[in-house]
């Protein structure tokens, strides 16, 4: 009879290939040995060390699902196992990686010209060129289709556009070398993707101030993008894709990564709460882990984490077979972020007053998981995407 493994309750490892297990092991080892030791101070200081992307690049963890261009070309599930390993340490570290890998490299791989792929992907895979993804605006978050950012033909320079507008809450923007900005072409009113190179922007046309004093995701860097008639050559525009399916296709991959990533954060909360409950003695010499109410909290969280991992593996397999729908990804993104947040909040109770100390790590996960439930489509927005698919009626407007 097999033994129950509280760290993998439904034996999800049985569904993984040898290669996926090896990639997961590499990502877990790197995350535990090199990210965990620096996260507490980084979170306190609200500091993101860009060296992290170079370290990830050396290990082949960036853009890992992309074929060629120095990328590893692994399965969708393997890509998700990388995000799970990194987010076991901190959602902010996973965030910086997701933007680089899924949103910017993924966008270039899906929609870029041959020149754009050759120019950006190898350096981004090494982590020596940093990307940011600008979709959200101050007045348009859940509804990016109403964006105001605009690209108009340069009045003096043929073959150039002038980009204007503001993006906000943009991960990596203050340190990004290349910013994938979504803006409407003035001539057509259609959304297009532009690769804005910081070093090519004349003074005063691009600013990327950091947003400071966040109360979550403090180990990542977030900022704005202000464009004031910034000249961008036409070759920097994605040639063929127009409309929201451009940015949303990139989001499909990133949302998938969040679905498995948040399970890593929840699993870390479970491990921390279990250890604490076994060591903390209250009433007649008993560890609090002996009490039924504490055990129920651990059982609920373990069940949700195990189900969440299995569902993500299933959707990952379908994605590689070309059979995953955006609604499936909405379902696992919504469910896993919600369950990770709800359970992390409950597990926090196990630590009593010590939950308030950042040394115990649990409060950091709770604050981070609120953000994961909010970005890349807030959970209620994913409910409406699912509701539309179930009823045929759209409830956004």
Instruction: Give me the active site residues, please.
Output: 376
Near ligand TGC in 281-340, by CB under 6 A: 326
Shortest Cβ distance from residue 316 to ligand FAD (Å)? 22
Among 161, 169, 238, 256, binds ligand FAD (CB under 6 A): 169
Among 26, 166, 197, 249, binds ligand TGC (CB under 6 A): 249
Residue 375 within binding range of ligand TGC, rule CB under 6 A:
yes
Write the DSSP assignment of 316-380 as a string of letters: HHHHHTT---HHHHHHHHHHHHHHHHHHHHHHHGGGGGGGGSGGGSHHHHHHHHHHHHHSSS-HH
* Residues in contact with ligand TGC, shown as a per-residue x/- string from 77 to 116 under the rule CB under 6 A: ------------------x--xx-----------------
Residue 185 or 381 with smaller CB distance to ligand TGC: 381
Residue 251 within binding range of ligand TGC, rule CB under 6 A:
yes
Please name the residues in contact with 22: beta carbons below 8 A apart, sequence gap of 6 or more: none
For the record, the structure tokens of 173 come out as: 């923007």
Among candidates 349, 296, 341, 378, which has minimal Cα distance to 87? 341
Shortest Cβ distance from residue 277 to ligand TGC (Å)? 31
Q: Alpha-carbon distance 167 to 148, whole Å? A: 10
For the record, the structure tokens of 382 come out as: 């994913």
Quick one: what does residue 245 bind among ligand FAD, ligand TGC, none, with the CB cut-off 5 to 8 Å set by partner type? ligand TGC
3-class DSSP state of 78: helix
Please give the DSSP secondary-structure letter assigned to residue 202. P
Please name the residues in contact with 263: beta carbons below 8 A apart, sequence gap of 6 or more: 84, 305, 308, 309, 312, 336, 340
* Residues in contact with ligand TGC, shown as a per-residue x/- string from 159 to 178 under the rule CB under 6 A: ------------x-------
Quick one: what does residue 374 bind among ligand FAD, ligand TGC, none, with the CB cut-off 5 to 8 Å set by partner type? ligand FAD
Quick one: what does residue 360 bind among ligand FAD, ligand TGC, none, with the CB cut-off 5 to 8 Å set by partner type? none
Q: Which range touches ligand FAD (CB under 6 A), out of 257-265, 277-285, 346-354, 370-378?
A: 370-378
Shortest Cβ distance from residue 253 to ligand TGC (Å)? 10
Among 99, 201, 289, 324, binds ligand FAD (CB under 6 A): 99
> Which runs of consecutive H residues, i.e. helices, occur in the chain?
18-30, 36-45, 51-58, 76-89, 91-98, 106-111, 114-126, 245-279, 292-320, 326-348, 362-374, 379-391
Q: Alpha-carbon distance 22 to 19, whole Å? A: 5
Q: Alpha-carbon distance 394 to 90, whole Å? A: 35
Quick one: what does residue 380 bind among ligand FAD, ligand TGC, none, with the CB cut-off 5 to 8 Å set by partner type? ligand FAD
Binding site for ligand TGC (CB under 6 A): 95, 98-99, 133, 135-136, 142-145, 171, 243-245, 248-249, 251-252, 326, 375-377, 381, 385, 396
């Amino acid at each position: 009879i097999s033994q129950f493994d509280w760290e993998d309750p439904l034996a999800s490892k049985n569904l993984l290939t040898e290669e996926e297990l090896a990639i997961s092991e590499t990502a877990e080892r790197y995350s535990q040995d090199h990210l965990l030791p620096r996260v507490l101070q980084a979170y306190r200081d609200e500091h993101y060390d860009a060296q992290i992307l170079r370290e990830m690049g050396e290990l082949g963890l960036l853009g890992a699902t992309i074929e060629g261009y120095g990328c590893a070309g692994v399965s969708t599930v393997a890509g998700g196992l990388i995000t799970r390993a990194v987010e076991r340490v901190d959602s902010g570290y996973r965030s910086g990686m997701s933007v680089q890998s899924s949103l910017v490299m993924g966008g270039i791989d899906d929609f870029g010209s041959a020149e754009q792929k050759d120019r950006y992907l190898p350096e981004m895979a090494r982590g020596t060129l940093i990307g940011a993804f600008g979709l959200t605006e101050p007045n348009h978050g859940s509804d990016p289709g109403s964006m105001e950012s605009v690209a108009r033909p340069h009045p003096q320079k043929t073959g150039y556009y002038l980009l204007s507008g503001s993006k906000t809450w943009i991960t990596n923007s203050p340190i990004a070398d290349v910013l994938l900005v979504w803006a409407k072409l003035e001539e057509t009113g259609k959304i297009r993707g532009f690769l804005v190179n910081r070093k090519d922007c004349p003074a005063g046309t691009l600013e990327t101030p950091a947003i400071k004093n966040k109360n979550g995701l403090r180990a990542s860097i977030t900022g704005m993008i202000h464009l004031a008639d910034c000249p961008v050559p036409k070759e920097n525009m994605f040639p063929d894709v127009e409309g929201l399916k451009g940015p949303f296709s990139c989001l499909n991959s990133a949302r998938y990564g969040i679905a498995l990533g948040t399970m890593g954060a929840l699993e870390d909360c479970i491990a921390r709460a279990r250890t604490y409950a076994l060591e903390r003695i209250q009433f007649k010499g008993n560890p609090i882990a002996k009490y039924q109410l504490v055990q129920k909290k651990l059982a609920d969280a373990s069940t949700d984490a195990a189900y969440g991992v299995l569902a993500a593996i299933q959707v990952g397999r379908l994605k590689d077979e070309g059979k995953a729908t955006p609604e499936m990804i909405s379902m696992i993104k919504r469910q896993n972020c919600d369950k990770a947040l709800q359970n992390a909040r409950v597990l926090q109770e196990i630590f009593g007053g010590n939950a308030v100390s950042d040394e115990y790590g649990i409060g950091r996960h709770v604050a981070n998981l609120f953000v994961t439930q909010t970005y890349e489509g807030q959970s209620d927005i994913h409910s409406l995407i699912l509701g539309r698919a179930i009823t045929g009626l759209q409830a956004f407007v």
